[in-house]
Amino acid sequence: MPATKKHPGGRPTKYFKKYCDEVVAFFEKEPFETIEVKTTDKRSGRVYLSEELRPVPLPTLERFAANIGVDTDTLVEWGKVHPEFSVAVTRAKERQKDILVTNGLMGLYNAGFAQFVARNLTDLRDNRDLDLTSGGERIQAAPVVISEIAAREGDDAPAQEEAS
């Protein structure tokens, strides 16, 4: 009797290679659309046409996952197991960042919300360059004379000369 191959167990994957192209395509959107807006002058009744820029809904991995019937944790796992999917998700995130930055710079998003989204969805952060090493050399803390501090605060605690 031939040996039977043992099934590895667990639920079969829902991953298909086509998702690599689909995730990139899902994020490949123009950042905004131009729409025609009609306004009517109340006094004269004249109708004026103008164009207005409106941001498209920001594509997200959560929305993509919902569209294909999985959750975002599944996308993360696929990225760990399938390098080509990880590359596709990276490309999608870069496009998402471009849409966010473009619309933010054009003033199409609320500034505070755009900052919040940028900090939490992308690698964009506020730069805070603090040199605490004085050119690579450690800064020596100044000695504190406790007796002077206690005297200023009116403390009757016994004074020590210096603390290092």
Query: In the chain, what are the domain boundaries?
Result: 18-126, 130-164
Report pLDDT for 10.
75
Q: Which two tokens stand for residue 10?
A: 């667990």
Q: What would the pLDDT profile of 11-66 be if each residue is shown by its tens digit?
A: 788 999 999 999 999 999 999 999 999 999 999 999 999 999 999 999 999 999 99
Alpha-carbon distance of 119 to 129, in angstroms, equals 17
- For domain 18-126, the question of CATH label 2.60.40 is answered with no
The two tokens of residue 150 are: 């206690």
Does pLDDT of 163 surpass 60? Answer: no
Joined together, the tokens standing for residue 38 give: 């009609």
Asked if residues 73 and 3 have their Cβ atoms less than 8 Å apart, the reply is no
Residue 127 banded pLDDT, cuts 50, 70, 90: confident
Whether pTM > 0.85 for this model: the answer is no
